[in-house]
Amino acid sequence: MPFNEIFGINAFGDAVMRDRLPKAIYNELKDVQTGCRELTVSCAEVVANAMKDWAIEKGATHYCHWFQPMTGLTAEKHDSFISPTSDGRAILEFSGKELLQGEPDASSFPSGGLRATFEARGYTAWDVTSPAYLSEEGNCKSLVIPTAFVGYHGEALDKKTPLLRSMQAVSTQALRVVRALGNTSSRRVIPSVGPEQEYFLVDEQYYNRRQDLFLTGRTVFGALPPKGQEMDDHYFGKIPARVSAFMTDVNEELWKLGIPAKTQHNEAAPNQFEIAPIYNISNVATDQNHIIMLTLKKIARRHGMVCLLHEKPFRGVNGSGKHNNWSLATDDGINLLNPGKTPDSNLQFLVFVSAVLDAVDTWAPLLRLSAANTGNDHRLGANEAPPAIISIFLGEQLSHIFEGIATGKPVPSQEGLQLELGVNTLPKLPQDISDRNRTSPFALTGNKFEFRMVPSSDSIAGPNFVLNTAVAEVLSAFADKLEKASSIPDAVREIVTETWKKHGRIVFNGNGYTGDWIAEAERRGLPNLKTSVDAWPHFADEDSVALFTKHKVFNRGEIHARLEIVLEKYSKQINIEAGVAYEMAVQEILPACSAYGATLAAQIRELEAAGMNVSSLRTRLGDITHLSEEAAKIADTLSAARLAARHISDPLEHARSCRDLVCTAMEALRAPIDRLEKILPKNAWPMPTYEDLLFRM
């Protein structure tokens, strides 16, 4: 079957609903999806029956509510369509109530103290805007219903609920602004996202022999091979045949689900790749990104490979991120961040870019913490990732336009520029109004902002609910001014001027990797929150609490609960990594070194007896002995630090102890272990090396 014909065949999307639902029910559901009316039980009954029939026709036996708890993964509870009858038979049923609400056991999901452990009830609520789909796992087929997940009293226990709340908040305030600017036709403003997903592939046989990879997702030890990525020969190179076959299967699976996977290519590091879909509404894009991650992992196994989503699985080569391309558009298709041909006079563009400048500068700590996790602590600031300092790249032309408006000396935009390539057979290319800056964590790239700091393994919900809420707050203030203004152009100039004078410091168009920028950022007063533990406490700052409660994204209890959850998760992850490092060192690597040392010592004795010069061998044996003793001592220190951290009850202090003592001991242990790997023969080293993992596929 042609690929265009399989697109969406396993999704209960708009086309399927239009065909299977009565016209009145379809129109009612569309009104619900656009926020024009509330969903009725009678409507849900008809939709549920249509979903059931569609799914059963495709071979489904079960349905499940699929949600995103604070574990960082997705969760699902499957129920069959079968209902027994009094005569010992069974019928297939799926009610509107079962579609609308599920009641999973929530006792083992993190709540951060929002409920007692013995209070187990949680509710999953159907997200009507995200299409249900058919999941195929071997012979088992299930109808999957994307849902939100809340506690008994309605507290958000997931990542989707605050995202949906933030989307409503930014729509409300953005609509006020576009109304003030003269737009009377648009009914909603929708944040959209296009997440680019980076990942590594490794051969399954090597993965299974690395305890650190299959328990933590990253290598806690590993010396760089003679060749890494310094030749830049992998980036955009020819996709290997084995990987190409994998990508073909991934695309087919995603296309069946209606996920528009568009771009795929080799990334910078060996065995690193990227996949990117077309933009979608923020919550749908978030769901689809989770599906993409699950699909990458599932299909990789079919091809004898393992997909690594960790931000830094290999030290010394590029890590993986998830570039979050964010924009705002009206329901009738107007991109509010589109500069047009004359951005200097495009009032709408100037207002909304000003809102982003203000929001990113004012709430920089929140954006930083939205991209924080243990993996990103290894990645941010390295050669492939932006620094931990939040800044915005506008490009020289737009920066000059904003500067000109603020100083009263406007700079006209340069429209219609073309690149002369100097070859008659090559076409003239239109030149964009700005270049791209890969060192910027937050860059305007055409008609969207690219948040490059987002971690590859996490949900994009967090960065987007922070961004939506922060922008909503600024737009609220802008709307107040515009609604009272006697002259809209004058009010816009005033907004741009005030924004640039107060928040122009957030704009940096240079190289974010240099030490000079760190010093310059400090001079500008920009925060440099280097680790996750530095960033997360700002979530509970009083101004942050005021922001989220004002826009009804969180209440105070939900904020403090989430802070506790992420801190505890961080400490648990570091504890696991430390335990793995200790066991690998003590149970695998040091015994291998001891065994090889004994063999080498026997060889030295034989050669000495034969009158041979063994000075180089004695030096090697001495290095092995010295490094092994050093590693053994540090391993004991690591074990003690890990034990001491466990006895700290305060979540923040526990996390700080893990960062300052446990992580420091892990890094110290890595140094002699990685040196030992370079000394021992390859056949004496007890596990696959970076050379195996990165270059043998």
> For 175-189, what is each residue's pLDDT tens digit?
999 999 999 999 999
pLDDT of residue 328: 97
- The share of the chain scoring above pLDDT 90, in percent, equals 76
Three-state DSSP state, 568: helix
Of 58-62, 161-165, 382-386, the one with minimum mean pLDDT is 382-386
**CA 587 – CA 597 distance, rounded (Å):** 16
Alpha-helical regions (H) of 440-531: 461-484, 488-503, 515-524
How would residue 607 be classed by pLDDT, with cut points 50, 70 and 90?
very high
What DSSP letter does each residue of 64-84 carry, written as one string?
EEEE-BTTSS-EEEEEESEEE
pLDDT of residue 419: 52
Would the pLDDT of 415 be above 90? no
Average pLDDT, the chain: 91
How would residue 416 be classed by pLDDT, with cut points 50, 70 and 90?
low
> For 133-178, what is each residue's pLDDT tens digit?
999 888 889 999 999 999 888 899 999 999 999 999 999 999 999 9
pLDDT of residue 109: 82
Of 5-19, 80-94, 391-405, the one with minimum mean pLDDT is 80-94
**Residue 242 structure tokens:** 């084995």
pLDDT of residue 382: 55
pLDDT of residue 437: 63
Would the pLDDT of 358 be above 70? yes
Give per-residue burial for 308-337: e unless 16+ CB within 10 Å, then b.
bbbbbbbbbbbbbbbbbbbbbbbeeeebbb
pLDDT of residue 5: 85
Would the pLDDT of 305 be above 80? yes
> For 662-674, what is each residue's pLDDT tens digit?
999 999 999 999 9
Element housing 273 (H / E): strand 272-277
pLDDT of residue 426: 55
pLDDT of residue 446: 86
The structural domains of the chain, ordered by start, are 3-158 (3.10.20.70), 166-415+427-554 (3.30.590.10), 569-695 (1.20.120.1560)
178: alpha, beta or left? (left if phi > 0; alpha if psi -120 to 50): alpha
pLDDT of residue 238: 85
> For 307-349, what is each residue's pLDDT tens digit?
999 999 999 999 999 999 999 999 999 999 999 888 888 999 9
> For 21-47, what is each residue's pLDDT tens digit?
999 999 999 999 988 899 999 999 999
Class of residue 360 by CB neighbours under 10 A (exposed 0-12, middle 13-18, buried 19+): buried
pLDDT of residue 288: 97
Q: Which amino acid is at 438?
A: R
**CA 539 – CA 348 distance, rounded (Å):** 31
**CA 470 – CA 406 distance, rounded (Å):** 23
pLDDT of residue 696: 86
Cβ atoms 198, 321 nearer than 8 A: yes
Mean pLDDT calculated for residue range 418-433: 58
**CA 132 – CA 90 distance, rounded (Å):** 25
**CA 686 – CA 680 distance, rounded (Å):** 10
How would residue 237 be classed by pLDDT, with cut points 50, 70 and 90?
confident
**CA 456 – CA 490 distance, rounded (Å):** 43
Q: Which amino acid is at 395?
A: G
Cβ atoms 390, 367 nearer than 8 A: yes
Of 117-126, 171-180, 472-481, the one with minimum mean pLDDT is 117-126
pTM score, two decimals? Answer: 0.94
pLDDT of residue 463: 97
pLDDT of residue 2: 72
Of 45-59, 138-152, 201-215, 560-574, the one with minimum mean pLDDT is 138-152
> For 61-114, what is each residue's pLDDT tens digit?
999 999 999 888 898 888 899 888 888 887 888 999 999 988 777 677 877 777
**Residue 610 structure tokens:** 């034969």
Long-range CB contacts for residues 599-603, cutoff 8 Å, separation at least 24: 600/624
Would the pLDDT of 236 be above 90? no
Mean pLDDT calculated for residue range 587-595: 97
**CA 452 – CA 596 distance, rounded (Å):** 45
**Residue 437 structure tokens:** 């800056």
Cβ atoms 222, 674 nearer than 8 A: yes
Would the pLDDT of 190 be above 70? yes
pLDDT of residue 430: 59
Element housing 629 (H / E): helix 615-646
Mean pLDDT calculated for residue range 338-366: 94
**CA 98 – CA 566 distance, rounded (Å):** 32
Q: Which amino acid is at 369?
A: L
Q: Which of 89-93, 119-123, 603-607 has the highest mean pLDDT?
A: 603-607
pLDDT of residue 265: 86
Of 369-383, 387-401, 466-480, the one with minimum mean pLDDT is 369-383
Would the pLDDT of 515 be above 90? no
pLDDT of residue 86: 80
Cβ atoms 384, 268 nearer than 8 A: yes
Class of residue 519 by CB neighbours under 10 A (exposed 0-12, middle 13-18, buried 19+): exposed
